[in-house]
């Protein structure tokens, strides 16, 4: 593994549903350590208000904030999973996050990020796509899962997204990790990205997030057959029938589909690790499953 500390800017691009909220809130809590190290960090809500929405949202009439670093800080740590796309636009017929490179480039150019290191968490398609769908239900009009699934499952791959990002940032390297390995390793990942010791980070306590159960989503599908489903009904059902003990999360795949998706993810990871092992490559694989 290539070992480097944070000697320049970092552009952390998510992805959605890969533990980003926990990591971002832990960075909020660790702000004093970041400032002491000369790292400029802006909380997610403030970052979206100042830059993501003005620069990337169509029809936004507020200009972006200036890009100047606060006095005494040398590098910027940017972390917003909405840069590659809003959650409802993460899955397109062309693949995952097809405009990620150009959107990330807009943010980087405005903030004058100098050859930023890119950071990306990957997740298996069999769990990622249903989670992306459920997250979309929280903020957009209801649609059945198969209407949301706008890409053949046999075509799913992270490699086109990775290649688009590397092409958009020819002077940057890309650090990748598996989101499935993240629980319990959050401080290690933050340390690897920033160069600060793990002890420098104050981690968020266990968050309480209500998840969609299989029962809740099936009820929503049944309701949709009779007519439009309101956002209030979506929120009521996820509250009344949350994922938890005795009520498994939403999982739409047949056994054959899940096996196909798991095999595709395994192939992607094998290719990522092979490319990261090349001495002249720009990809860095952080294996959080292996003890530090």
Residue 290: per-residue pLDDT: 93
Residue 86: per-residue pLDDT: 97
Residues of the chain under the 70 pLDDT cut: 1-6, 207-208
Residue 280: per-residue pLDDT: 83
Residue 5: per-residue pLDDT: 42
Residue 179: per-residue pLDDT: 98
Rounded Cα distance between 145 and 143, Å, is: 6
């Amino acid at each position: 593994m290539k070992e480097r500390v944070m000697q320049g800017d970092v552009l952390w691009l998510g992805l959605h549903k890969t533990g980003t909220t926990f990591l971002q809130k832990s960075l909020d809590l660790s702000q004093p350590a970041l400032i002491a190290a000369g790292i400029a960090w802006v909380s997610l809500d403030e970052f979206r208000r100042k830059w993501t929405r003005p620069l990337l949202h169509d029809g936004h009439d507020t200009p972006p904030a200036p890009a100047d670093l606060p006095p005494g800080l040398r590098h910027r740590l940017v972390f917003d999973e909405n840069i590659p796309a809003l959650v409802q636009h993460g899955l397109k017929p062309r693949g995952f996050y097809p405009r990620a490179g150009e959107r990330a480039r807009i943010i980087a150019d405005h903030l004058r990020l100098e050859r930023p290191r890119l950071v990306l968490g990957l997740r298996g398609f069999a769990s990622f796509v249903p989670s992306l769908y459920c997250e979309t239900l929280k903020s957009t009009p209801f649609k059945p899962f198969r209407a949301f699934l706008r890409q053949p499952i046999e075509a799913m791959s992270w490699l086109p997204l990775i290649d688009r990002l590397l092409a958009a940032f020819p002077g940057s390297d890309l650090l990748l990790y598996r989101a499935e390995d993240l629980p319990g390793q959050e401080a290690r990942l933050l340390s690897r990205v920033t160069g600060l010791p793990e002890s420098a980070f104050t981690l968020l306590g266990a968050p309480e997030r209500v998840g969609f159960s299989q029962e809740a989503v099936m009820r929503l599908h049944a309701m949709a057959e009779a007519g439009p489903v309101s956002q209030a009904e979506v929120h009521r059902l996820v509250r009344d029938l949350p994922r938890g003990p005795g009520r498994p999360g939403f999982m739409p795949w047949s056994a054959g589909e899940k096996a196909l998706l798991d095999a595709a993810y395994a192939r992607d990871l094998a290719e990522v690790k092979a490319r990261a092992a090349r001495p002249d490559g720009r990809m860095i694989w952080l294996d959080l499953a292996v003890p530090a």
